[in-house]
């Protein structure tokens, strides 16, 4: 029995490998502090769970859902987009589709638009799925380096004309995983203009739209005038509402983009369980005060990590969004060497920056998804082991 040759081009998924190593060490009795995964440790808010209980008891949720999501769900999405971003005139029938979280919708968008010989423009460092899905679709990923000196924004002028003309998709993700970087509406407009010039579908992975601190509110690319002509945006309830296991999200924007995604999805999945869609509608009605109470937990953890690393000499500032802190490794180490040191001397697991792409070399990522006391313990272990930035 022979595997498809495409799998030879696909490295093991970064977090699957991290989890495998964690399980091995736990089995050996090592007390591991896992700062690797962006999986919230707090429960889903009670009002969402209550609606889910009621929906499960409703027999009308037990049959197949509409492929694109229920009408009620899609209309709730358009209302949320208007309330949250001021984005109006989204057609719930042609410009909205439910998704099983974001990951499957991201992957299926590549299948809908990318063929052999096509390029995709993907951020580096970035979510590994952008690269692997390009390869699965037979395309060629062309990386856009995200550099600290450019505030981790891609340099559009560095994209060769010949590549731009053969590109089908351009992917962005702000607030950014893994760097925590932000983008302005002015930069989004540059991206919209660039994609219109070359007829590229602009795909904004907005998984961290609500994961923001210090009063910051991340914008939507669809706030740019006429962005809907060329852009689609991916939203997920996973991080914002502590719903990673529920697998629910949506994609909105350009009707052709939604049509292509819908055509793939109708052939590979049967939609999202209707009871989960009802729970998601309840999540969209969460008040700003309730959401801020969730965010305050992560903001406090951010401060523990940043202040702790600063006390050890790290030259970092607190990020204003995402669940992550993007941290430079000490000058004498590579990313892989330093994360190995943390594991060997401190029992701390973090992913190396180069796991997100070559441009991530020189960094590692910390996820704010474990209790405060474990974060304090991680800093203490580093201090006791004599690990400092310089």
Q: Which of 284, 300, 316 is the last residue of a domain?
A: 284
What are the beta bridge partners of residue 249? 99, 236
Residue 116 dihedral angles phi and psi, to the nearest 5°? -55, 130
Q: Is the pLDDT of residue 177 over 70?
A: yes
pLDDT in tens, 78-120: 999 999 999 999 999 999 999 999 999 999 999 999 999 999 9
pLDDT in tens, 199-229: 999 999 999 999 999 999 999 999 999 999 9
Residues 318, 279 share a domain: no
Residues 351, 362 share a domain: yes
The Cα–Cα gap between 346 and 360 comes to: 23
- The model's confidence at residue 28, banded by pLDDT at 50, 70 and 90, is confident
* pLDDT in the model for residue 80: 97
pTM: 0.95
Q: Is the pLDDT of residue 17 over 90?
A: no
Q: Which of 263, 284, 305 is the last residue of a domain?
A: 284
* pLDDT in the model for residue 24: 82
Sign of the C-alpha dihedral computed for residues 91, 95, 97 and 101 taken in this order: negative
- Mean pLDDT (whole number) for 39-68: 96
Residues 230, 219 share a domain: yes
Q: Would you tell me how many other CB atoms lie within 10 Å of the CB of residue 59?
A: 7
365-to-80, 144, 368 alpha-carbon distances in Å: 31, 19, 10
Residues 52, 20 share a domain: no
The Cα–Cα gap between 222 and 252 comes to: 9
> How are strands ordered across the β-sheet holding 201-205?
96-99, 249-253, 231-236, 201-205, 167-172, 119-124, 140-145
Residues 312, 293 share a domain: yes
On whether the CB atoms of residues 59 and 262 are closer than 8 A, the answer is no
CATH number, position 29: 3.90.1150.10
Q: Which of 253, 284, 315 is the last residue of a domain?
A: 284
The full length of the chain comes to: 390
Tokens of 264: 């793939």
Residues 360, 229 share a domain: no
The Cα–Cα gap between 373 and 239 comes to: 21
pLDDT in tens, 35-49: 998 899 999 999 999
- 164 located within any domain: yes
Residues 331, 185 share a domain: no
Tokens of 6: 């495409």
- How many folded domains does the chain comprise? 2
Q: Is the pLDDT of residue 150 over 90?
A: yes
pLDDT in tens, 279-292: 999 999 999 899 99
CA angle in degrees (0–180, nearest 5) for 228-179-129: 60
- 175 located within any domain: yes
* pLDDT in the model for residue 328: 98
- The model's confidence at residue 15, banded by pLDDT at 50, 70 and 90, is low
The Cα–Cα gap between 201 and 224 comes to: 15
The three-state (H, E, C) secondary structure of 240-291, written as one string = CCCCHHHCCEEEEECHHHHHHHHHHHHHHCCCCCHHHHHHHHHHHCCCHHHH
The Cα–Cα gap between 249 and 216 comes to: 22
Q: Is the pLDDT of residue 143 over 90?
A: yes
3-state secondary structure of 23: helix
| Radius of gyration of the CA atoms of the chain, in A | 21
3-state helix, strand, coil in the chain (%, to 5): 45, 15, 40
Q: Is the pLDDT of residue 26 over 80?
A: no
Helix-helix angle 288-311:372-384, to 10 degrees: 10
Residues 279, 328 share a domain: no
What is the span of the domain harbouring residue 371?
5-43+289-384
Residues 188, 302 share a domain: no
The Cα–Cα gap between 333 and 341 comes to: 10
Residues 233, 296 share a domain: no
The average confidence (pLDDT) of the chain is 95
- What percent of the chain has a predicted confidence (pLDDT) above 90? 89
Helix-helix angle 103-113:255-268, to 10 degrees: 110
Residues 221, 115 share a domain: yes
């Amino acid at each position: 029995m022979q595997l498809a040759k495409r799998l030879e081009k696909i490295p093991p998924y970064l977090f699957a490998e991290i989890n495998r190593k964690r399980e091995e060490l736990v089995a050996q009795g090592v007390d591991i502090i896992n700062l690797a995964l962006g999986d919230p440790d707090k429960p889903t808010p009670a009002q969402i769970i209550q609606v889910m209980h009621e929906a499960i008891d409703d027999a009308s949720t037990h049959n197949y859902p509409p492929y694109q999501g229920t009408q009620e769900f899609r209309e709730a999405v358009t209302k949320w987009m208007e309330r949250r971003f001021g984005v109006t005139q989204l057609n719930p029938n042609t410009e909205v589709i439910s998704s099983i979280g974001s990951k499957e919708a991201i992957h299926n968008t590549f299948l809908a638009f990318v063929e052999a010989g096509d390029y995709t423009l993907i951020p580096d460092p970035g979510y590994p799925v952008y690269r692997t899905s390009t390869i699965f679709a037979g395309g060629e990923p062309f990386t856009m380096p995200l550099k600290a000196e450019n505030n981790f924004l891609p340099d559009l002028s560095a994209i060769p004309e010949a590549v731009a003309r053969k590109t089908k998709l351009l992917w962005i993700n702000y607030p950014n995983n893994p760097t925590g970087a932000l983008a302005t509406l002015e930069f989004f407009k540059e991206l919209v203009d660039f994609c219109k010039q070359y007829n590229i579908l602009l795909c904004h992975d907005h998984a961290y739209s609500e994961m923001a601190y210090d009063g910051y509110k991340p914008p939507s690319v669809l706030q740019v005038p006429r962005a809907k002509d060329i852009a689609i945006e991916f939203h997920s309830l996973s991080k914002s509402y502590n719903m990673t296991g529920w697998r629910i999200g949506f994609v909105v924007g350009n009707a052709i983009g939604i049509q292509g995604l819908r055509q793939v999805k109708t052939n590979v999945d049967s939609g999202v369980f209707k009871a989960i869609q009802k729970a998601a509608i309840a999540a969209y009605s969460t008040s700003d005060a309730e959401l801020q109470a969730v965010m305050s937990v992560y903001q406090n953890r951010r401060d523990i990590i940043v202040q702790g690393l600063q006390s050890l000499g790290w030259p970092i500032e607190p990020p204003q969004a995402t669940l992550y802190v993007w941290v430079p490794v000490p000058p004498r180490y590579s990313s892989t060497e330093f994360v190995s040191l943390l594991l060997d001397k401190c029992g701390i697991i973090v992913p190396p920056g180069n796991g997100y792409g070559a441009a991530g070399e020189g960094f590692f990522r910390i996820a704010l998804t474990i209790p405060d006391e474990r974060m304090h313990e991680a800093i203490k272990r580093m201090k006791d082991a004599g690990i400092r930035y310089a």
